[in-house]
Structure 1
């Protein structure tokens, strides 16, 4: 017997996390699915606040990290949502598309971040040379935030892929209207 975990509607939303529905969690299908486990969603909120809003990386650096993580996980939900967000923070389509390709096709700054993501996902660590280059590029706090971002979005990738979370309609419509060139 297979159990389905569809995004919860407002009427199904757990009372224990009602305040989160009015904020970030009510806006995205991944969090509406995570609401099947209200305690996890409640615990998730403070880390999300840091990773998404209080991190030491710039918006574009963060999107580079998230897109490369989504690409490595082969997670269409994360990729689609962050193509949209990357555009919103001023990234060009060619730059976004390059993040799904070989490191040598990326701009130098993006290559440093993408290499770090790749090493975390394949080696479960930053190699010393990458770590040193990364600290020069984004600082020690940025390095820690990069690792936290990869971990955070890996968990989201596990959820969206394991539970077939549908891409949110507004993001799907945007990408249908403006496919990544």
Structure 2
């Protein structure tokens, strides 16, 4: 994949550009730039980059959905729209919140391959209906009401849209999986052939930025 929007050259960085890089608290990002591909791209458009950061942080870190449901949702979106970048990152995040490799594999073959609890199935079904019909049917909405409160249903719909948008942008911009990463493929093996391991989200805990050196 060709990277269509490369990182902004360092001699063109402004304070606003550095704010985009440093937003998530990544060590030395203000001085050296982010090790994260999407932030380096967004540095080309700082106003958009900071709006994207704030919106993304709300949905990733302050979402009212259970973390398990959030990660199931994102992984299903990544699989449906074939986002290599989002799949790579959220396999690790999913493992960290207790989703098993077997469950992650079954996200690709849903509804076959695993017996899902209703509270999991309804989240995955919401992804599929929104992508397939551009709305949620009355029948599925009633199922959602059975397991999610109003704020959670709002977050569900907005989060699906956000990760579809993000996946489109990553694909259209040609954002690569970071060169320091042992990229996780859709076959759930890393580029080096290892089994994927859990990873922390940005700012989630001490040591989240390890491996970004």
TM-score by length of 2: 0.75
Between 131-140 and 4-13, the greater mean CA deviation after superposition: 4-13
Structure 2 residue 21 is matched with structure 1 residue 21: yes
Which structure has the larger Rg? Answer: 2
Structure 2 residue 93 is matched with structure 1 residue 76: no
Distance in 1 separating the partners of 2:148 and 2:180: 32
Aligned-residue RMSD, C-alpha: 2.4
Q: Deviations over 1:61-91 (max 9, x none)?
A: 1000100111111111111111111112221
Count of residue correspondences? 179
Q: 1:145 aligns with which of 148, 155, 165?
A: 155
Q: Is the 8 A contact 2:39 2:49 kept in 1?
A: yes
Q: Which runs of 5+ in 2 are unaligned?
A: 27-33, 185-189, 198-213
Distance in 2 separating the partners of 1:37 and 1:31: 10
Within 5 Å, which residues of 2 pair with 1:1-181? 4-8=4-8, 13-24=13-24, 26-106=34-114, 107-108=116-117, 109-173=119-183, 175-176=190-191, 177-179=194-196
Distance in 1 separating the partners of 2:52 and 2:176: 20
* Offset at residue 111 of structure 1 (A): 1.5
TM-score by length of 1: 0.87
Distance in 1 separating the partners of 2:134 and 2:73: 15
Q: 1:23–1:11: structure 2 CA closer, same or farther, 3 Å change rule?
A: farther
Distance in 1 separating the partners of 2:137 and 2:128: 11
Structure with bigger helix share is 1
